[in-house]
Amino acid sequence: MKVVIGSRDSKLAVVQANMVIDFLRSAHAGCEVELATFKTTGDKILDRRLDQIGGKGLFVKELDSALRDGACDYTVHSCKDLPMEVPEDLPLVCFSAREDPRDVLVYPKGASEPDLSLPIGTSSRRREVQLRELFPQATFESVRGNLQTRLRKLDEGGYGALVLAAAGLKRMGLEERIGRYLTVDEVIPSAGQGVLAVQGRVDAVPALFVGFADKAVACAVRAERAFVARLDGGCTSPIAAHARVVGDAIEIRGLYYDEEKHEMRRGAKSGKAVDAVSLAKSLADELRG
């Protein structure tokens, strides 16, 4: 059996795709697995924020086309980069175990704290509105590009700190660059942060990924994505959600930013994991008011 895994062509995306490939090779003797990489529109346009050029869909459009055209059998995504609406003909097959979901501050090489005379680099309004509470004296500036490009811009003096996902740094072996972990209470993560999503066609074989898929994480991610979808949240909307499943219980934290009132609202709900989606929608409705 031959399986072709599709991925964006960034170093981090390839590392993540290879996590899936390594699993398939170890779990299915004789399975021939290949990697196919594709450059997405979101990787090409780096001079504007995502909300100015079309949002999260720009990171998946080419991969969706590759699935439909048969250029690959499955695609691997950072779950936080997926649009909330998934095409019916390209279902999400599974979700991985979750790497560290937290956001982190990365300082210039040799620094032990952020230099707030320079802007903090982030292209995420979700991160910015929450960090303004922690660092009211800070300024913020958009930074785009792959992980290596952002770190280079930081070390060259363009920023006093960067805000990044812990998961990406850890998967790239760059954990030592983390200056400060931001708790999920300080900065609620993006829905799906730290999780890999595998997408396929309607003829996908979920059994291939038994042992890679994490049912508890899948439940949490469905709740997070339901929260964001209820609020019509896109890639750069200041909306956040993080859920954790323990046994048959779930707790979900959410953030909603009212653009008209310039008001940030946080909340949380706990309940049975089987009610994850309805709990998430209820929390979204409460925060929207």
Report the sign of the C-alpha dihedral through residues 168, 156, 160, 257, in that order: negative
Report the sign of the C-alpha dihedral through residues 80, 83, 86, 87, in that order: negative
* Active site annotation includes 43: no
Torsion angle, alpha carbons of 83, 185, 223, 74, to 10? 40
Look up residue 165 and give its two tokens. Answer: 């996902």
Q: CA 2, CA 21: separation in Å to the nearest integer?
A: 12
Select from 12, 2, 24 the least CA-distant residue to 209: 24
Question: Which one of the listed residues 64, 81, 103, 214 is annotated catalytic?
Answer: 81
Q: Which residues contact 267 (CB under 8 A, 6 or more apart)?
A: 253, 254, 283, 286, 287
Amino acid symbol at 12: L
Burial 225-253 (b: 16+ CB within 10 A, else e): bbbbbbbebbbbbbbbbbbbbeeeebbbb
Question: Exposure of 173 by Cβ count < 10 A (0-12 exposed, 13-18 middle, 19+ buried)?
Answer: exposed
Residues known to be catalytic: 81
